[in-house]
Chain A
């Protein structure tokens, strides 16, 4: 089943704009840090995919991911980490925390679309 509503969590307005253009076939919910993302997750029960940055103010992506995976209501939602942190240990850390995929910035549009379609 295709994701219908995607939560985008990133402190970069540029990335939000890019997703608006690239993912126009999906309905997007926007958050600029982990705390705002948690609030939005509570408000939008139909979110079925999360695109998540790591380095953000207030609450980092990994903290947010831990909270999502610890919550029975949200734990099944697939999370794709999209980050400039490109070391192998960063990828392993993200996947071990429960991310379904890890994409490094700058990313190719096709790479992202393929991951979204796969999940």
Chain B
């Protein structure tokens, strides 16, 4: 092989190499561009979509947990209200619902007095700190706008209002009759307001508290009469 031929071959090889290098550069550029676009896609829309899904699932989980908590409170409250026929225990349960579930520091359970005006204070807590004086005698004869309205039309009232410092006046129903009202006068300092879930509890108390209490009282009266009759029968048999 002559030097001219060798030079032409080298030149041809160099050109081929240059073309190959150019092709490699193009492929590298293409790959780089595809990689960048893939990263942009992953960093952008996909990640954002995943993040949105995650946030939505997280928020649904929190909401589901709150719902579960509310339902559990309602179940437990209903269960306990109807778990006994002892009037004292039913009253204790109403107090426990007010204190432990609603966070009431001061409250009064008012029940209408048969064949008379006013309501008896059947149950209360913290009334020694109440400055209104409306409940201090053990009989409520009216005077608080929200309580009187709840007793009158059976609609739950939430306060406080201009004319009342009551936090909630919960009408108590037995069948269609308004037999009393649960008056929440103050919440614990660490529970500033009634929350949305508390409304369910107030509705539950309105529907179940009085009926449970009245059922227990009727049972206790009937049981007392039965025992009296049994004693009389035994007395008659003994003589």
B190 near A14: Cβ-Cβ < 8 Å = no
Majority DSSP secondary structure for residues of B touching A: helix
Q: CB-CB < 8 A to A5: which residues of B?
A: none
Counting CB contacts under 8 A, is B91 at the interface?
A: no
B189 near A106: Cβ-Cβ < 8 Å = no
Render B70-89 as a binary contact track against A, CB cut-off 8 A, 1 for contact. Answer: 00110111011001000001
B92 near A106: Cβ-Cβ < 8 Å = no
B76 near A86: Cβ-Cβ < 8 Å = no
| B interface list, Cβ under 8 A from A | 65, 68-69, 72-73, 75-77, 79-80, 83, 89, 92-93, 96-97, 99-103, 105, 188-191
A13 near B92: Cβ-Cβ < 8 Å = yes
A14 near B188: Cβ-Cβ < 8 Å = no
Of the candidates B68, B79, B102, which one forms a contact with A106 in the assembled complex, judged by CB atoms under 8 Å apart? B102
Given contacts A86-B189, A104-B190, A106-B101, contact A14 B68 (CB under 8 A): no
22 pairs from A and B in contact (CB 8 Å cutoff): A12-B96, A12-B100, A13-B96, A14-B76, A14-B80, A14-B96, A14-B101, A15-B100, A21-B72, A84-B99, A84-B103, A84-B188, A86-B188, A86-B190, A104-B188, A104-B190, A106-B100, A106-B101, A106-B191, A109-B65, A109-B68, A109-B69
Q: CB-CB < 8 A to B69: which residues of A?
A: 108-110
Given contacts A13-B93, A22-B72, contact A105 B80 (CB under 8 A): no
Counting CB contacts under 8 A, is A76 at the interface?
A: no
Q: CB-CB < 8 A to A104: which residues of B?
A: 188, 190-191
Interface size class of A (residues with CB under 8 A): 10 to 19
Of the candidates A13, A108, A110, which one forms a contact with B80 in the assembled complex, judged by CB atoms under 8 Å apart? A13
Residue from A13, A15, A106, A109 whose CB has the most chain B CB atoms within 10 Å: A106
Counting CB contacts under 8 A, is A87 at the interface?
A: yes
| Shortest beta-carbon distance from B18 to chain A in Å | 68
Q: CB-CB < 8 A to A58: which residues of B?
A: none
Of the candidates A18, A22, A87, A105, which one forms a contact with B103 in the assembled complex, judged by CB atoms under 8 Å apart? A105
A105 near B93: Cβ-Cβ < 8 Å = no
The 10 closest A-B pairs by CB, nearest first: A86-B190, A14-B96, A109-B69, A12-B96, A18-B76, A106-B103, A14-B80, A104-B190, A17-B76, A105-B100
Q: How far is the CA of A86 from the CA of B189 in the complex (A)?
A: 7
Render A4-15 as a binary contact track against B, CB cut-off 8 A, 1 for contact. Answer: 000000001111
Q: How far is the CA of A84 from the CA of B76 in the complex (A)?
A: 19
Q: How far is the CA of A87 from the CA of B188 in the complex (A)?
A: 10
A84 near B92: Cβ-Cβ < 8 Å = no
| Shortest beta-carbon distance from A53 to chain B in Å | 9
| Shortest beta-carbon distance from B201 to chain A in Å | 10
Residues of A44-86 contacting chain B, CB below 8 A: 84, 86
